[in-house]
């Protein structure tokens, strides 16, 4: 199996994000960037498939120079190779998907895995757009994946249940939390990752079909009142919810 995993370098979810001086992007100094959490599930799944069926796992990331850090993280987990599409500028997802698709088309793959969304822009559309541009089938938000001969069965999370989807390969699968438990990189893995080469490709796409006008903070919630302590405070709480907040 020749598997490609698309990954993104994003601010750690613990980050308290602040708006930058331009009002349109975030402050990046003192922000810890990490491999997008959903991409960890995608990498883990790829590694498990490789361990079961043989093959090779290649990582692909688009972004500025620091995207290489997340590629190193994935290599340390056990991926074999990494490609960096060097894109210093911001793009909309579709333009970026077109750029990634051009790189993907230069080789032949059995499967492309992506995280179901990146935790920075929360768009959750790269994987499916990529599939359409490649003219491949896709299954998104997958929590279980079984591979057969030239096909896959994927369990896709929907409201109130699970869709069991069968798809021929190659296909794009996007990983949801629950798919697996990602491994930690071993010390040996980290050492080996340093020696693995990251191949660079320049990004030929420029511009974005979406213009960012501004960023703002959501309305802050003001701390409310402590109604009381212990079970004795329950009647007072119920009264407030019923009469003041009018939600019961």
Partner 1 sequence: MKVLVFAEQRSGEFRKAAMEALCEGRRLSSDGELVAVIIGRGAAKIAPNLAGYGPDRILCIENPLLEQYSTEGYGAALEAAIRQENPEVVLMAATSMGRDLAPRLGARLGVPVLADVVGLSFEGGMLQAVRPIYAGKLLMKVRSKVSPGIATTRLKAFPAAASEPSKQPSIQPFAFEIAASAIRAKVKQIQSEAEGTIELTEADIVVSGGRGLKGTEAFKMLEDLARTLGAAVGASRAAVDAGWRSHGDQVGQTGKTVAPTLYIACGISGAIQHLAGMSSSKVVVAINKDPDAPIFKIADYGIVGDVFEILPALTEAVKGIK
Q: Which of residues 77-116 bind partner 1 (CB under 8 A)?
A: 92-95, 97
Strand bridging mode 33-35 / 81-86:
unpaired
Least distance from C-beta 76 to partner 1, angstroms?
21
Q: For residues 191 and 75, is the Cβ–Cβ distance under 8 A?
A: no
Q: For tokens 């296909």, what's the residue?
A: 171
Least distance from C-beta 72 to partner 1, angstroms?
22
Q: Based on the number of CB atoms within 10 Å of its own CB, is 53 exposed (0-12), middle (13-18) or buried (19 or more)?
A: exposed
> Contacting partner 1 (CB under 8 A), which of 1, 2, 11, 28?
11
State which residue, 135 or 197, has the beta carbon closest to partner 1.
135
Determine, following the binding rule CB under 8 A, whether residue 233 of this chain makes contact with partner 1.
yes
How many residues are there in the chain?
248
Determine, following the binding rule CB under 8 A, whether residue 42 of this chain makes contact with partner 1.
no
Least distance from C-beta 39 to partner 1, angstroms?
12
> Contacting partner 1 (CB under 8 A), which of 22, 51, 65, 123?
123
Q: For residues 64 and 21, is the Cβ–Cβ distance under 8 A?
A: no
Determine, following the binding rule CB under 8 A, whether residue 21 of this chain makes contact with partner 1.
no
State which residue, 89 or 242, has the beta carbon closest to partner 1.
242
How far is the C-alpha of 94 from the C-alpha of 129, rounded, in Å?
Answer: 7
Q: Scanning residues 139 to 168, which ones bind partner 1 (CB under 8 A)?
A: 139-141, 143, 153, 155-168
Least distance from C-beta 196 to partner 1, angstroms?
28
Closest CA to 98 of 170, 199, 203: 203
State which residue, 158 or 187, has the beta carbon closest to partner 1.
158
> Contacting partner 1 (CB under 8 A), which of 28, 90, 132, 201?
132
Q: For residues 168 and 151, is the Cβ–Cβ distance under 8 A?
A: yes
Q: Scanning residues 194 to 223, which ones bind partner 1 (CB under 8 A)?
A: 208-218, 221, 223
DSSP state of 230: S
Count of C-beta atoms within a 10 Å radius of residue 67: 24
Least distance from C-beta 14 to partner 1, angstroms?
6
> Contacting partner 1 (CB under 8 A), which of 37, 55, 64, 189?
37
| 3-state DSSP assignment of residue 81 | strand
State which residue, 82 or 136, has the beta carbon closest to partner 1.
136
Residues 6+ apart with CB under 8 A from 96: 62, 87, 126, 205
Q: Determine the interface stretch with partner 1 among 44-52, 58-66, 75-83, 229-237 (rule: CB under 8 A).
A: 229-237
Least distance from C-beta 51 to partner 1, angstroms?
23
How far is the C-alpha of 127 from the C-alpha of 42, rounded, in Å?
Answer: 11
How far is the C-alpha of 237 from the C-alpha of 158, rounded, in Å?
Answer: 35
């Amino acid at each position: 199996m020749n598997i490609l995993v698309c990954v993104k370098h994003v601010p750690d979810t613990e980050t308290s994000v602040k708006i930058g001086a331009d009002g349109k992007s975030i402050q990046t100094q003192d922000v810890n960037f990490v491999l997008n959490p959903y991409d960890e599930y995608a990498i883990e799944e790829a590694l498990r498939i490789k361990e079961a069926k043989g093959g090779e796992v290649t990582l692909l990331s688009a972004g500025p120079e620091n995207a290489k850090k997340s590629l190193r993280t994935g290599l340390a987990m056990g991926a074999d190779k990494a490609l960096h599409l060097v894109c210093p500028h911001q793009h909309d997802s579709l333009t970026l998907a077109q750029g990634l698709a051009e790189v993907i088309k230069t080789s032949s793959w059995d499967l492309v895995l992506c995280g179901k969304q990146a935790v920075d822009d929360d768009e959750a559309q790269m994987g499916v757009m990529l599939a359409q541009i490649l003219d491949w089938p896709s299954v998104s938000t997958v929590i279980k994946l079984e591979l057969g001969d030239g096909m896959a069965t994927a369990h896709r999370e929907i409201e109130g249940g699970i869709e069991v989807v069968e798809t021929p390969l190659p296909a794009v699968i996007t990983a949801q939390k629950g798919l697996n438990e990602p491994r930690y990189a071993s010390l040996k893995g980290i050492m080996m990752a340093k020696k693995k080469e990251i191949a660079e490709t320049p990004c030929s796409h420029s511009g974005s079909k979406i213009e960012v006008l501004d960023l703002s903070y959501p309305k802050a919630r003001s701390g409310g009142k402590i109604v009381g302590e212990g079970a004795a405070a329950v009647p007072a709480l119920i009264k407030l919810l019923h009469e003041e907040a009018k939600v019961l």
